[in-house]
Amino acid sequence: MASTLPSLSSTSYSLLTHTFTANSNGPNKSAGFLVFAQKKTKKIRKIILKEDVDFLGKKGSLVDVRAGFFRNFLHPSGKASIVTPQLLKEMRVEEERIDAEKRRVLEEAQQLALVFETVGAFKVKRKGGKGKQIFGSVTAQDLVDIIKAQLQREVDKRIVELPEIRETGEYVAELKLHPEVTARVRVNVFAN
């Protein structure tokens, strides 16, 4: 090492050897260690929500949250639990059951729509006035009562969309049986 540092003074050379060589008297106080500062890591937990949480998600959704938020708020209040393989399996089974139920309800609504559309026209009799005018009007409740009498089916009047009927003639009413299924039925209005 002396041959590589000829231009250094004797004091700096001794400092160099002192810093890089082990001292027999104990640990060398002037020997430096390189320490790389690590960025603070964010502790994230993957959780499943047990109920709807504002600004986070709906029940059953998988979300990543900070460990402190889970530990201090979500877990003590019973709104979430940490993801485990068994919990994921249970969640998948529950999703499959819900999907099967949705498909069953959709198929039922499609079959009911087919029944309503193949029936033909529902006949409504009202007291007549001049020309084609009738007294009063035909309401959704009137149509529900006729469907119940003819088909023995219970239908909620809130799903019936009926145009304003104040004259005799043929009209088309829509029954929203499902968000994806709408049945169109004909309504014939006659005067007595």
Q: What is the Cα gyration radius of the chain?
A: 40
Q: Is the pLDDT of residue 4 over 60?
A: no
Residue 27 is predicted with a pLDDT of 56
Average pLDDT over residues 38-50: 83
Residue 11 is predicted with a pLDDT of 44
Average pLDDT over residues 23-47: 69
- Residue-wise pLDDT for 67-124, tens only, equals 999 999 999 999 999 999 998 898 889 889 999 999 999 999 999 999 988 888 889 8
Q: Is the pLDDT of residue 16 over 60?
A: no
Residue 37 is predicted with a pLDDT of 67
Residue 26 is predicted with a pLDDT of 55
The answer to whether 135 and 142 are in contact (CB under 8 A) is: no
Shortest CA distance to 162 belongs to which of 137, 130, 129, 132?
137
DSSP 37: P
Helix axes 85-119, 140-151, angle to 10 degrees: 90
Between CA 25 and CA 31 the distance in angstroms is 14
Shortest CA distance to 187 belongs to which of 167, 109, 178?
167
Out of 10-19, 72-81, 124-133, 180-189, least confident range = 10-19
Structural domains of the chain ordered from first start: 118-191 (3.10.430.100)
Shortest CA distance to 138 belongs to which of 106, 162, 111, 170?
162
The answer to whether 65 and 42 are in contact (CB under 8 A) is: no
Split at pLDDT 50, 70, 90, the class of 29 is low
- Residue-wise pLDDT for 127-180, tens only, equals 888 888 888 888 999 999 999 998 888 989 999 999 998 899 999 999 999 999
| Tokens found for residue 22 | 């082990």
Residue 130 is predicted with a pLDDT of 83
**Rounded to the nearest 5°, which phi and psi values hold at 18?**
-70, -35
